[in-house]
Amino acid sequence: MCINCLKTNTPDRGSTCLEKGAYLMNFAGCHACKNVGFLKEESKVSEEDDDGEETVTYNHVCKECDHIVASHEYTFSVDDGFQEYSMNCTLCGYGSATVSILPDDPREKQLF
């Protein structure tokens, strides 16, 4: 990981969780070669554990010189009627979200 390539180290992204791609608004440019273009994904690994939690990891890499800009981790699981998402990456930031898979979200208060 190279914090010199970033505008902000691990920005708070709220409920945004990227399984693929990059948050280029936070990319200041490659510290090694000064490239300000797109990044590529390398060393992508997708794993699922016994509980059904999926974890996707990969590196954001400069297309010009193969400098590793950041490591990205995305997780997804289903627990008690909710989908849980999280992302942790120095480039893309930190985010998490919980989404109900039920027709009516039990967290929502019903007004009558």
Q: Which domains does the chain carry?
A: 3-100 (2.60.40.4240)
CA–CA separation, 38 and 54 (whole Å): 27
Q: Would you place residue 109 in the very low, low, confident or very high pLDDT band (cuts 50, 70, 90)?
A: low
Mean pLDDT, rounded, of the chain:
89
Q: What is the per-residue pLDDT for 91?
A: 96
One-letter amino acid identity for 59? N
Is there a contact between 81 and 93 (Cβ–Cβ < 8 Å)? no
